[in-house]
Amino acid sequence: MNGHALRKCLHILSLLLMTGLLFSCRGKGTLEDSSREGLILGFSQIGAESAWRKCNTSSVKEAAEEAGVQLLFENAEQKQENQIKALRSFIVYQVDVIAFVPIVADGWDNVLKEAKDAGIPVLITDRKINTADPSLYAGFIGTDSKQEGREGARFLLKKFAGTEKVRIVEIQGTEGSSVAIGRSEGFREELEGHDEFEIIHSVSGDFLRSRGYELMRDILKRHDHIDVIYSHNDGMTLGVLDALRETNLIPGKDIVIVTIDAEQAAIDALIRGEVNCVIECNPKMGPAIIDLAEKLSRGESIPPLQHVRETVFTEYDDLSSIEPRGY
């Protein structure tokens, strides 16, 4: 048997074992009886691509532990197909509630129909999905990415008031993700009618620091005059700063930088003057997710859409009072 066939068999065997084990430790008889332990929540996380994501994961795990919720946690390693497999395994296991971060906005209807048919409520968190059937999930809690984009544009409108020409480079997040779409749309909507602002280059860095670095080196070869970098997350911004350190350009002065997430490293860069505006995107939604999951497990309805509280930090603020970010 060649290596590929062996890997295939092992994969199938592991899936059967997982399903078998899951059934054996749950057993049909225990699903209904009162001896069953508390809420069982299946959670599919997209990966660990940024400090923000790692904090988001910790927040969910800590909140589940605090609440005595049995958490089945799956890391999809940036692949939608892994998330779909995870959701299907949660359905087989007959969890009480499913929660997940959809890495991209499209392609969820089929698996959500399977969850609905199995009578398992689904909570969507952090990123949104596109679907023609809103009955496929119980509700959403996460960040308002369009508002984040608007805030970035508002800062630039203030910073460059009266300037004739402002050349902007946009480094976007994961293509097809609701947050990259929202941050692009909100930013552009706010700049509408201000023709002095021109987006001269827009490219996806997939929320990764390494891509931010590689892209910035390439962009500097293509454009000899850049006024602003608008980066969809701090991880990519740190890569941009890595690249700028290899030049004689002074970040925050020669090139204005707007970034989103508000991880500690970005706040530190703001305090050093290397970054000009940091828009908070709050990853600490674990307690709210657990609270909503518990409501769903009791058959209660939840709000269809909830945005977490977020703020903006800029060079115009008193930066000495910013609380440690914790991520």
Residues at the contact surface with ligand GZL, assessed by CB under 6 A: 49-50, 52-53, 126-127, 143, 179, 207, 233, 235, 260-261, 281
Nearer to ligand GZL, 160 or 327 (CB): 327
- Whose Cβ is closer to ligand GZL: residue 176's or residue 297's? 176
CB atoms within 10 A of CB 288: 19
The residue among 55 and 71 lying less far from ligand GZL, judged by its C-beta, is 55
d(CA 236, CA 219): 14
- Tokens 């290397």 locate to 274
| β-bridge pairing 256-261 and 305-307 | unpaired
Closest CA to 52 of 258, 261, 323, 269: 261
Minimum distance of ligand GZL from residue 234's CB (angstroms): 7
- Report in angstroms how near the CB of residue 273 gets to ligand GZL at its nearest: 23
Q: Give min distance, CB of 88 to ligand GZL, in A.
A: 23
The residues, ordered by sequence, that sit 6+ positions from 284 with a Cβ below 8 Å of its Cβ are 55, 56, 59, 326
Helix (H) or strand (E) holding 277: strand 277-280
Cα–Cα distance, 279 to 160 (Å, whole number) = 18
Q: Which of 268, 203, 206 is nearest to 236 (CA)?
A: 206
Give the span between the Cα atoms of 244 and 283, in whole angstroms. Answer: 28
CB nearer ligand GZL, residue 127 or residue 146? 127
The one-letter amino acid code at 306 reads Q
- Closer to ligand GZL by Cβ: residue 220 or 288: 288
Of 96 and 144, nearer to ligand GZL (C-beta) is 144
- Distance, CA of 124 to CA of 30 (rounded, Å): 28
Structure tokens at 46: 């997209």
Q: Residue 10 CB, nearest distance to ligand GZL (Å)?
A: 31
**What is the smallest separation between the CB atom of 317 and ligand GZL, expressed in angstroms?**
21
Q: Which of 156, 142, 176, 161 is nearest to 230 (CA)?
A: 156
Please say which residue, 143 or 276, places its beta carbon nearer to ligand GZL. Answer: 143
Shortest distance, position 264 Cβ to ligand GZL, whole Å: 13
- What is the amino acid identity at position 284? K
Specify the residue, 103 or 156, whose C-beta has the smaller distance to ligand GZL: 103
In the complex with ligand GZL, which residue's Cβ is closer, 52 or 137?
52
Is-contact 271 319, C-beta < 8 A? Answer: yes
Minimum Å distance from CB 30 to ligand GZL?
A: 36
Among 228, 218, 211, smallest CA distance to 156 is for: 228
C-alpha count within 13 angstroms, C-beta hemisphere, residue 94: 14
Question: What's the min distance (Å) between Cβ of 299 and ligand GZL?
Answer: 29
Smallest gap from Cβ 235 to ligand GZL, in A, equals 6
Q: If we measure between CA atoms, which residue out of 48, 52, 47, 50 comes closest to residue 325?
A: 52
